[in-house]
Amino acid sequence: MLKNYFKIAIAVLKRRKFFTFISLFGISFTLTVITVAVAFLNKFINEDYPDYKRERSLYVGTMELRNSKEGWLNRSDVSFYFLDHYVSKLQRVEKMAISSGAQASNAFINNKKIVIEYKYTNADYWNVLEYEFLEGKPYGVQDIENANMVAVISEETRDDYFGPNVKAVGKYISADNINYRVIGVVKNVSKTLYNFAGDMYIPYTVSRQKWNEVGLLGNCTAVLLARTPDDVPQLKRDFDQMMSKVPLPDKEFDKAFSNADTYFESVTRRITGDGENSGQNKAIGLLLALLTIFLLLPTINLVSINITRIMERSSEIGVRKAFGASSSTLVYQFIVENLILTIIGGILGLLLSSIAIYFINHADLISNMRLTLSPAVLAYSLLACMLFGLLSGVYPAWRMSRLNVVNALKAQ
Amino acid sequence: MIRLENIEKVYRTDTVETLAINGINLHVQKGEFLSIMGPSGCGKSTLLNIMGLLDEPSRGQIKIDNQDISRYSDKQMANFRNEKLGFIFQSYHLINDLQVLDNVELPLLYRNSSSQSRRALATAALEKVGLSNRTKHFPTQLSGGQRQRVAIARAIVGQPQIILADEPTGNLDSAMGNEIMDILINLNKNEGTTIVMVTHDESMAQKTHRLVRLFDGSQVQ
Amino acid sequence: MFKHLYKLMWNKRKQNFLLLSEILVSFLVIFALFSFLVYYFQNYQKPKGLDYERVWTVSYDNRQVSKQLDSARLFYDDLERSLKAMPQIREVAYTSANFPYSQSVMNTNVSLGDKVINSVNRYVSGIDYHKVLQMNLTEGRWFYPEDAAAAIKPIVINETLKAEAFGKQSAVGRLFDNHDKTSRRRIVGVVQDVKVEGDYLPSGKAMYTPLDTTDIKWNSFILLKVTEAADANFEGKLYKYLGQRFNNERVEITYMKDLRTAKNEVTLIPMIIFMIVAGFLIINVALGLFGVLWYNINRRRSEIGLRRAIGASSTSVSGQLVSESLILATLSIIVGCFFALQFPLLHVFDVAANVYLYAILLTVLFIYLLVIACSVYPGKQAAAIHPATALHEE
């Protein structure tokens, strides 16, 4: 039976080239946009180099101090002191990666200006995050304690500063007129990983900032690594409990919020949330609303084309009914037909997506962001494809099942 | 074989009620070749559609093979049509997107039969109507008479007990019409198929066993 | 004739429901697109209000600068003099972080008697700020160094703020209270709007306050206007010099030109993506419309044949079909306009009403053109139908 549906579907699609073209155009284009959007979202949501341990990681990003009476608030990254003095004492934290926000600086070499965004990190940063070292190694606890003037640089920085593929380890790089000895070179990190992207990484003890100054607001973020994924919810609770006991630094504010978030929460908190609320539901709601609005037009279009196709074939449907096809059989037939069309459109859409992604990657719209058609992206796109096929097929099929046989047979 | 009791059919629009069929009682015997005649709009096609379970009567009962059809579900009716009935239409109603052989196989698709047996049955049916050399053509490549023969092959491929034909010769000239008529008469004689045919051609009607005349929704004789 | 066609369409409203909603949704998408485009275009046409060429911005970490007022003052005065003495540097001005095309915003509100004016951008500016950016004074003057001694501190405002506060009256000499009415400021000049958010966004209300003694301690940005002689070599030397002055703290030099490009990209790239997506949606809809109209016409061959038989010319037949589509489009457009007009009526966004009106006008035009384009070919096809064959088919 299915084979027959398939055969008929192909025959119909071949005969009605114009309608097939319109449908395929609509489906493949819609899918391309969705796939590219999913690939982009995937960059923010799914595990990505160098942050591979998201299952047992929690992210501490923002600190928000509020004056609930006057409605003021003060929000920034957390201070090193806060991480060191409170968070590191939590029992379920196996390791903690601390890094400062990237700061831009210049370096001049051969009359060429290079912008270097550097970050201060602790030693465990290299243990929690799995940077890929092209050469050399990270700095360790000893380097931190001795405040050694060493730096790990990115591949991009090495290529700009020392020349493409020149060995950099052991050489000196000058930023802010200070010389650092390069001890490692890592693969570039996509700028979408806000907390981990940088051109140069330096031990925090080298910084002349008063990194151990008492206070909650600062310019650090941290990744808390739990021992097992099962520990994560408890660690979150421990963090909240600890937070409720943190003394407020200032009379000006009466509330302090900081959270240990999952990665997705940490992203949505920056965009749609605040100290109290992770904004996760709001972000998902917004995304869904956007998706619905975007899908509305192609869906209506496909539905009206499908209905036209059905009306055009009303005599065929009448004949099938006369010769013993029940309404449900016909509805299945139509839905199968529509799914086949959607799948062909889906394959075309994936081809178009890979072309679009190729161009986006080459245009380097966001520094070092490389979109990929990973299995997860493919799965989501397939899901969207099926949903789209069903959505645009169900209403016409319902109309078809109600088609009056007598009229349909008269229609020709 | 087919028993219609007090069949009435009313068409309603917003303002007018039209009585298309008014209390018809009809009994079609097994193996009978019956023709229905009458002027345009007398309700003969409606009657045929009701017999073919394509349309529901407003009142009355249909019994086919002593089974009351009126309470059948959509699925049951579909099965019944598939097993017991074969249709022939004035305007053929072939599916233009399918080749002749696939068109003929159509009723068998809604049964559980293998593709080989379908193919064999369809080829045999086409042979009976003398079109075994046209199996790979599309309907649009055939003449009117050939198309109607394909439609007959489609009607008989499932070996139905009853064939309902709605002006099968209406679109054809008399030579072609006679050809089609001969096929139907042979079918009735050799296979014992019950045939009900609507026509407005007196000469065609004379070739059948019994003639029923309708006028304004009522049976005249 | 019109009435006849309207009846025909109205009686088929159920059949045409999908087509109608499709045109309606397209209308709304196109309306959104045109609203953005008109808004950006109107802003783009306004003058930039500054010259960003050869302006360098220096950001530095002020940790090593003394927090003692007097010594900070001395340090900065000396630095300014030294920089200005360099032949490659024409003008020097300190600034707050929210200089043009930067990522920073600093908002405040001011009051004028009982009237409170919200979200006024406050730019802390050095004495030569307007010279670095070559801003255009339209009224009054910029700050003088002597102003520092004045009892009421001077400010310069932009034309947008002036228009909102004083309308067409002169602003010079008028006084503003600050947000909590603890201090007053005297307006000494009005400058042309500076489009700080890039070429496609409005300047907003702005006031420029002189860099005073409290600001100077926290200052961490310098604007420089350099001459054509300022090359990469000079930039390297300047970088080294600044590094020494700030005790090897972080220093970064950027070009305002690059900041402007980046700022414009932030506006344009989403717009381009929106346009591409909307473009494909519209092609999609156009093809769909075309297909449905084509099918409708094929289905109505006998009707068309009849019309031809009773004396309609082929042009009147194709004209009829095109008009039918236009009536359909009009129905959708009326509903669409109803939604679109809510934006200016309810002031959903802080955008001038004429932006929406232009956008509605353009959208209506666009939809009509789209529908005509999609129905002309099917209409022509219908006109080619031969009445005899069309009637025979039935």
| Cβ–Cβ below 8 Å for B106 and A323 | yes
SS3 call for C110: strand
Q: Answer whether C105's CB lies under 8 Å from C98's CB.
A: yes
Q: What is the 3-state secondary structure (H, E, C) of C150-173?
A: CCCEEEEEEHHHHHHHHCCCCCCC
Q: A175 with A292, same domain?
A: no
What value does the mean pLDDT of chain C take? 86
For residue A360, what pLDDT is reported? 85
| Element of type H or E holding B183 | helix B174-186
| Element of type H or E holding C8 | helix C2-11
- pTM summary value: 0.76
Q: A359 with A294, same domain?
A: yes
Q: Over the Cα atoms of chain C, what is R_g?
A: 31
Q: A334 with A187, same domain?
A: no
| Cβ–Cβ below 8 Å for A8 and B52 | no
pLDDT tens digits for range A340-357: 888 888 889 889 999 988
Q: What is the mean pLDDT of residues C265-288?
A: 86
| Cβ–Cβ below 8 Å for A323 and B98 | no
pLDDT tens digits for range C343-376: 888 887 878 889 999 999 999 999 999 999 988 8
Q: A159 with A107, same domain?
A: yes
Q: Is A270 part of a structural domain of the chain?
A: no
Q: Nearest CA of chain A to the CA of B52: how many Å?
A: 8
Instruction: Name B123's bridge partners.
Output: none
Q: Which residue has the tokens 């008479």?
A: B145
Q: What is the mean pLDDT of residues C146-158?
A: 87
| Cβ–Cβ below 8 Å for A316 and B95 | yes
Q: Report the distance separating Cα C113 and Cα C96, nearest Å.
A: 28
| Cβ–Cβ below 8 Å for A105 and C63 | no
Q: What is the 3-state secondary structure (H, E, C) of chain A?
A: CHHHHHHHHHHHHHHCHHHHHHHHHHHHHHHHHHHHHHHHHHHHHCCECCECCHHHEEEEEEEEEEECCCCEEEEEEECHHHHHHCHHHCCCEEEEEEEECCEEEEEEECCEEEEEEEEEECCCHHHHCCCCEEEECCCCHHHHHHCCCEEEEEHHHHHHHCCCCCCCCCCEEEECCEEEEEEEEECCCCCCCCCCCCCEEEEHHHCCCCCCCCCCEECEEEEEEECCCCHHHHHHHHHHHHHHHCCCCCCCCCEEEEEEECHHHHHHHHHCCCCCCCCHHHHHHHHHHHHHHHHHHHHHHHHHHHHHHHHHCHHHHHHHHHCCCCHHHHHHHHHHHHHHHHHHHHHHHHHHHHHHHHHHHHHCCCCCCCCCCCHHHHHHHHHHHHHHHHHHHHHHHHHHHCCCHHHHHHCC
For residue A412, what pLDDT is reported? 46
Task: Find the CB nearest C284 among A29, A104, A105.
Answer: A29
| Cβ–Cβ below 8 Å for A323 and B54 | no
Q: A159 with A303, same domain?
A: no
For residue A43, what pLDDT is reported? 80
For residue B12, what pLDDT is reported? 78
SS3 call for B70: coil
pLDDT tens digits for range C233-271: 898 899 989 988 988 888 888 999 989 998 898 888 889
Mutate to test the interface with C, among A297, A371, A398 (most CBs of C within 10 A): A297
Chain C environment of A365 (Cβ under 8 Å): 269
| Cβ–Cβ below 8 Å for B78 and A406 | no
Q: Are chains C and B in touch, 3+ Cβ pairs below 8 Å?
A: no
Q: Report the distance separating Cα C365 and Cα C326, nearest Å.
A: 11
Q: Report the distance separating Cα C88 and Cα A336, nearest Å.
A: 74
Q: A232 with A302, same domain?
A: no
Q: Above 80 in pLDDT, residue C8?
A: no
Residue of B nearest to A11 (CA): B97
Give the neighbours of chain B: at least 3 Cβ pairs within 8 Å.
A
Q: Above 70 in pLDDT, residue C310?
A: no
Task: Find the CB nearest B93 among A12, A318, A327.
Answer: A318
Residue of A nearest to B81 (CA): A324
Task: Find the CB nearest B54 among A1, A326, A405.
Answer: A405
pLDDT tens digits for range B14-47: 777 888 888 889 899 999 999 999 888 788 888 8
Looking at per-residue pLDDT, the higher value among A239 and A395 belongs to: A239
Q: Is A259 part of a structural domain of the chain?
A: no
| Cβ–Cβ below 8 Å for A323 and B81 | yes
| Cβ–Cβ below 8 Å for C239 and A311 | no
Domain finish residue from A253, A272, A297? A253
Q: Is A258 part of a structural domain of the chain?
A: no
Q: Is A273 part of a structural domain of the chain?
A: no
Q: With a cut of 50, which residues of chain B have pLDDT below it?
A: none
- Residue A331: which of B78, B122, B161 has the closest Cα? B78
The band of A202, judged by pLDDT with boundaries at 50, 70 and 90, is very high
Q: What are phi and psi of A109, to 5 degrees?
A: -140, 130
Q: Within a 13 Å sphere around the CA of A203, how many CA atoms are in the beta-carbon half?
A: 21
| Cβ–Cβ below 8 Å for C251 and A176 | yes
Looking at per-residue pLDDT, the higher value among C8 and A320 belongs to: A320
pLDDT tens digits for range A265-316: 888 888 888 878 888 899 889 888 888 888 888 888 888 888 887 777 777 7
Residue of A nearest to C302 (CA): A412
Percent above pLDDT 90 for chain B: 25
For residue C367, what pLDDT is reported? 95
Give chain A's domain count.
2
Q: Is A265 part of a structural domain of the chain?
A: no
SS3 call for C139: strand
Residue of B nearest to A4 (CA): B109
| Cβ–Cβ below 8 Å for B110 and A319 | no
| Cβ–Cβ below 8 Å for B158 and A327 | no
Looking at per-residue pLDDT, the higher value among B42 and A140 belongs to: A140
Q: Nearest CA of chain C to the CA of A56: how many Å?
A: 34
Q: Is A396 part of a structural domain of the chain?
A: yes
User: How many contacts does A have with B, using Cβ atoms within 8 A?
Assistant: 82
User: How many contacts does A have with C, using Cβ atoms within 8 A?
Assistant: 95
Instruction: Name B197's bridge partners.
Output: B35, B165
For residue A410, what pLDDT is reported? 66
For residue A123, what pLDDT is reported? 94
Task: Find the CB nearest B110 among A11, A15, A329.
Answer: A329
For residue C394, what pLDDT is reported? 39
Residues of C engaging A, defined by a Cβ cutoff of 8 Å: 18-19, 21-22, 25-26, 29, 59, 63, 232-233, 235-236, 239-240, 243-244, 248-253, 269, 277, 280-281, 283-285, 287-288, 290-292, 294-295, 299
| Cβ–Cβ below 8 Å for B79 and A326 | yes
C-alpha pair distances (Å), A92 with each of A234, A244, A278, B10: 8, 17, 22, 80
Percent above pLDDT 90 for chain C: 40
What value does the mean pLDDT of chain B take? 87
Q: A217 with A77, same domain?
A: yes
The band of C3, judged by pLDDT with boundaries at 50, 70 and 90, is low
Q: A292 with A243, same domain?
A: no
Task: Find the CB nearest A409 among B83, B93, B107.
Answer: B93
Q: Answer whether C179's CB lies under 8 Å from C110's CB.
A: yes
* Helices first, then strands: H and E counts in chain C: 12, 11
| Cβ–Cβ below 8 Å for C281 and A312 | no
Q: Which residue has the tokens 């958010």?
A: C197
Structure tokens at B188: 């009735």
| Cβ–Cβ below 8 Å for B109 and A4 | yes
Chain A environment of C233 (Cβ under 8 Å): 111
Q: Over the Cα atoms of chain B, what is R_g?
A: 17
The band of A142, judged by pLDDT with boundaries at 50, 70 and 90, is very high
- Residue C308: which of C371, C392, C375, C377 has the closest Cα? C392
| Cβ–Cβ below 8 Å for C280 and A29 | yes
Domain range spanning residue A330? Answer: 2-47+282-410
Q: A385 with A298, same domain?
A: yes
pLDDT tens digits for range A145-175: 999 999 999 999 999 999 888 999 999 998 8
Residues of A engaging C, defined by a Cβ cutoff of 8 Å: 18-19, 21-22, 25-26, 29-30, 33, 103-106, 108, 111-113, 115, 176-178, 208-209, 294, 296-298, 300-305, 307-308, 311-312, 365
- Residue B193: which of B32, B63, B3 has the closest Cα? B32
For residue C388, what pLDDT is reported? 60
Chain C environment of A22 (Cβ under 8 Å): 284, 287-288, 290-291
Q: Are chains A and B in touch, 3+ Cβ pairs below 8 Å?
A: yes
Which range of A191-200, A210-219, A227-236 scores highest in mean pLDDT? It is: A227-236
Q: Answer whether A349's CB lies under 8 Å from A29's CB.
A: yes
Task: Find the CB nearest C285 among A19, A33, A297.
Answer: A297
Q: A226 with A321, same domain?
A: no
Which range of A116-130, A370-384, A387-401, B87-101 scores highest in mean pLDDT? It is: A116-130
Q: A121 with A156, same domain?
A: yes
Q: Above 70 in pLDDT, residue C309?
A: no
For residue C322, what pLDDT is reported? 86
The band of C163, judged by pLDDT with boundaries at 50, 70 and 90, is very high
For residue C387, what pLDDT is reported? 65
Mutate to test the interface with B, among A3, A309, A317, A323 (most CBs of B within 10 A): A323
Which range of A67-81, A378-392, C77-91, C376-390 scores highest in mean pLDDT? It is: C77-91
Q: Above 90 in pLDDT, residue C109?
A: no
| Cβ–Cβ below 8 Å for A321 and B87 | no
Residue of B nearest to A17 (CA): B97
Structure tokens at A23: 């449908």
Q: What is the mean pLDDT of residues A108-130?
A: 90
Q: Answer whether C61's CB lies under 8 Å from C246's CB.
A: yes
pLDDT tens digits for range A43-71: 877 778 888 888 899 999 888 888 877 77
For residue A195, what pLDDT is reported? 86
Lowest mean pLDDT among A189-193, C36-40, C165-169: A189-193
Q: Is A262 part of a structural domain of the chain?
A: no
The band of C158, judged by pLDDT with boundaries at 50, 70 and 90, is very high
Q: A222 with A81, same domain?
A: yes
Looking at per-residue pLDDT, the higher value among C105 and A87 belongs to: A87
- Residue A31: which of A373, A281, A393 has the closest Cα? A373
Q: Nearest CA of chain A to the CA of B93: how many Å?
A: 6
